[in-house]
Structure 1
Amino acid sequence: MVFFKNQFANVVEWEEFRDDMIFWKWNNREIKKGSRLIIQPGQDAIFINNGKIEGIFQEEGDYNIESQIIPFLSTLKGFKFGFNSGMRVEVLFVNTKEFTVKWGTKNAINIPSPQLPGGIPVRANGTFNFKVNDYIALIDKIAGVKNSYLVEDVKIRITSILDQLLMKWISKEGKDMFNLQANAFEIAQGIKTDLDMQIIDSGMTITGFNIISFNYPKEIQDMITKTASHGMIGDLQRYQQVSMTDGIASGKVKGGGTAADMAGMMMGMGMAGQMMKNMNQMQDQSGGQQAPNEGNQAQNAPDQAGQASSGEGKIPNFCPNCGEKTSGGNFCSNCGQKLV
């Protein structure tokens, strides 16, 4: 009696269901008269006899196998249950949902780059999506030899070739190695197509592939950040000025005497130099043109000055050459300038 209890089944259903299980095979038992088939939401039930698909049932529900299932099986339509014998078939339950899997590179991928002879070490992470889409291929390649299959099994297969595909699509011409995030969508689409070709023969398809971020080593990331800062500021001199200003404001440049004074002097010299440069540029742009009356005024100035000095003959109170106070003589006692 124990033999018949273990070998015959009253209910055929997915007994070991897990959310991360792609398929599970009910086998090694016979279905007896009056047995039921239970299909839960998100499941398909595939009847298999001698490795051949007999029927696929996709609607959830509770079915009487003898009256509602057998009449739809390919070669078992006329099967009759005996008193001590049942129907020996395998039932493959397939999870029909789309699975989402997180991925990440275990080791940095060295992407060839002319900027760095040894390549740029890059890590990446994201997600990919897949689902079962071909039951015949699934049974032929996987379910024919396995009783169950997990998402982790697919993830291992995908990640084993992911590094090569990342290197292939990142190295495509025209990619900015220091701003890969800008090309993340294009790179992801190329990888998605290649991954789909890798697993399509197993009855599954890649429905989506996303790259969330690219990550560089700290040294390279610091270099990228500094390069971007230089580009935003415009040139190295201005970058140094801003860095010095930030240092004083944050308190990193301290020492009320030498350090702070030197910083202030450098900033002042830099600002004065920049002002002179701007003034020269303005003069160059004006083309050296004078106002309409400037020329005549400049020509008349010496004559007027001469008339004033010769007509009056009065000794000025201060030397027009050096500014020294005069002492009443005809010549400046400081610089020797003639006063009258």
Structure 2
Amino acid sequence: MMSFFKGQLANVVEWDEFREDMIFWKWHNNEIKKGSKLIIRPGQDAIFYNQGRIEGIFEKEGDYDVDSDIIPFLSTLKGFKFGFNSGMRVEVLFVNTKEFTVKWGTKSAIHLPAPGLPGGLPIRANGTFNFKVNDYVSLIDKIVGVRNSYLVEDIKIRITAVLDQLLMKWIGREGKDMFNLQMNADEIAAGIKQDLDMQLVDDGMTITRFHIMSFNYPKEIQDMIKKSASHGMIGDVKKYQQVELTDAMASGKMGGEGGSGSGTASEMAGMMMGMNVAKEMMESMRDSGGETSKGQSEPQNQQASSGGQGNIPNFCPNCGTKTSGGNFCSNCGHKLV
């Protein structure tokens, strides 16, 4: 008698193994007793289905009586009546409705074809992608039938398995600059998102965002890129030498014997840089105003050599004595005109 009543105890239909990284979970007891309750928590949908056919989807959080609040809304089970010894045989699937964010990174370097590098250009990349469940029919048809639960890690494994191939595909399009991939990161990511979405659409899920945080080159390649960028910004060898001199001053590499004496190196580099800057300023002034100065000085020299009282200076250019109007200095005898 006690075993009979034990079999008639009501169920609590709820997601009792909930995890933040769990995409869905299948309620294991397929027979729902009279008086059972359904509990839906925030961020969950409860799907009643029978033999792969969805009977009803319940999205609003709260506690519900199965026989009075749920059964009347089920598509083909509206007329179901709980018998004295029987319950309702139906499966319940709980789905996590949030958008999941997953970090990704290439497991090993991807070798991209690049001029001058026979083995290819090795790069790594990392970023994030977002996905969510958007089609319960496909989810039940393709995955729920063979799985009792599904984790974010399962999706991550699927995505990372094809990422290397997709990165090579979209990086190689339209002759992108292999040494400045970050400039095209958004375009590359958009193409990868489109392809990844096709990987998941049949399983009832969609990629909502794919982001490439960074491309990482080997140190030797990074140094080469920085050096090339410096050349491009500087534009000529003379200025490049100045930058190299500045780097030496900062790092102390121009020190004395044995590599020591960084203070002396800094002083030397500073003095040399200052001399070079002053020299360039003088050359610039000469180049911009030399012709005008030359044009103005020639008439003055001609006028000074032509003689005449109006050309006698007020002071002797040799000794500085004030002149008295004669052609020779009264103090030192220097010729004034």
Q: CA deviation at 1:200?
A: 0.7
* Partner residue, 1:13: 14
* Partner residue, 1:291: 295
Unpaired segments ≥5 residues, structure 1: 305-340
* Partner residue, 1:132: 133
Q: CA deviation at 1:241?
A: 3.6
**Aligned letter for 2:295?**
A
Secondary structure of the residue aligned to 2:295 is: coil
Identical pairs, percent: 69
Matched, 1:70 2:71: yes
> CA separation in 2, counterparts of 1:63 and 1:257?
83
C-alpha contact (below 8 Å) 1:8/1:30 kept by paired residues: no
1:77-156 to 2 correspondences below 5 Å: 77-156=78-157
Using the size of structure 1 for normalisation, the TM-score is: 0.77
Aligned residue pair count: 302
Q: CA deviation at 1:283?
A: 5.1
Q: CA deviation at 1:72?
A: 1.2
1:9-43 Cα deviation digits (max 9, x unpaired):
52111111111100000134311111111111111
Secondary structure of the residue aligned to 2:42 is: coil
1:119-176 Cα deviation digits (max 9, x unpaired):
2111111110000000000011111111100000011111111111111111122422
Cα pair distance change 1:193/1:122, threshold 3 Å: same
Runs of 4+ in 1 over 3 A off after TM superposition: 1-9, 256-261, 267-290, 295-301
1:177-199 Cα deviation digits (max 9, x unpaired):
11211111111111111111111
Cα pair distance change 1:257/1:90, threshold 3 Å: closer
1:301-333 Cα deviation digits (max 9, x unpaired):
6x99xxxxxxxxxxxxxxxxxxxxxxxxxxxxx
* Partner residue, 2:55: 54
Secondary structure of the residue aligned to 2:86 is: coil
Q: Which structure has the larger Rg? A: 1
Matched, 1:163 2:164: yes
Matched, 1:239 2:243: no
> CA separation in 2, counterparts of 1:159 and 1:103?
7
C-alpha contact (below 8 Å) 1:27/1:89 kept by paired residues: no
* Partner residue, 2:228: 227
Q: CA deviation at 1:85?
A: 1.2
* Partner residue, 1:188: 189
* Partner residue, 2:214: 213
* Partner residue, 1:22: 23
C-alpha contact (below 8 Å) 1:7/1:30 kept by paired residues: no
1:254-276 Cα deviation digits (max 9, x unpaired):
22799979x969x8699679948
Secondary structure of the residue aligned to 1:75 is: coil
Secondary structure of the residue aligned to 2:36 is: strand
Secondary structure of the residue aligned to 2:202 is: helix
**Aligned letter for 1:50?**
Q
1:32-51 to 2 correspondences below 5 Å: 32-51=33-52
> CA separation in 2, counterparts of 1:212 and 1:270?
42
C-alpha contact (below 8 Å) 1:43/1:60 kept by paired residues: yes
C-alpha contact (below 8 Å) 2:10/2:35 kept by paired residues: no
> CA separation in 2, counterparts of 1:3 and 1:214?
66
C-alpha contact (below 8 Å) 2:8/2:85 kept by paired residues: no
> CA separation in 2, counterparts of 1:20 and 1:249?
50
C-alpha contact (below 8 Å) 1:46/1:54 kept by paired residues: yes
* Partner residue, 1:310: none
Q: CA deviation at 1:45?
A: 0.7
Q: CA deviation at 1:289?
A: 9.1
Q: CA deviation at 1:232?
A: 2.7
* Partner residue, 1:314: none
Q: CA deviation at 1:228?
A: 1.7
* Partner residue, 2:178: 177
Secondary structure of the residue aligned to 2:123 is: strand
**Aligned letter for 1:236?**
V
Using the size of structure 2 for normalisation, the TM-score is: 0.78
> CA separation in 1, counterparts of 2:275 and 2:68?
95
C-alpha contact (below 8 Å) 1:109/1:123 kept by paired residues: yes
Cα pair distance change 1:289/1:141, threshold 3 Å: same
> CA separation in 2, counterparts of 1:280 and 1:92?
80
Cα pair distance change 1:119/1:277, threshold 3 Å: farther
Cα pair distance change 1:4/1:250, threshold 3 Å: same
Matched, 1:201 2:202: yes
> CA separation in 1, counterparts of 2:64 and 2:239?
79
1:58-80 Cα deviation digits (max 9, x unpaired):
11111111111111112211111
Unpaired segments ≥5 residues, structure 2: 308-337
**Aligned letter for 2:86?**
S
Secondary structure of the residue aligned to 1:240 is: helix
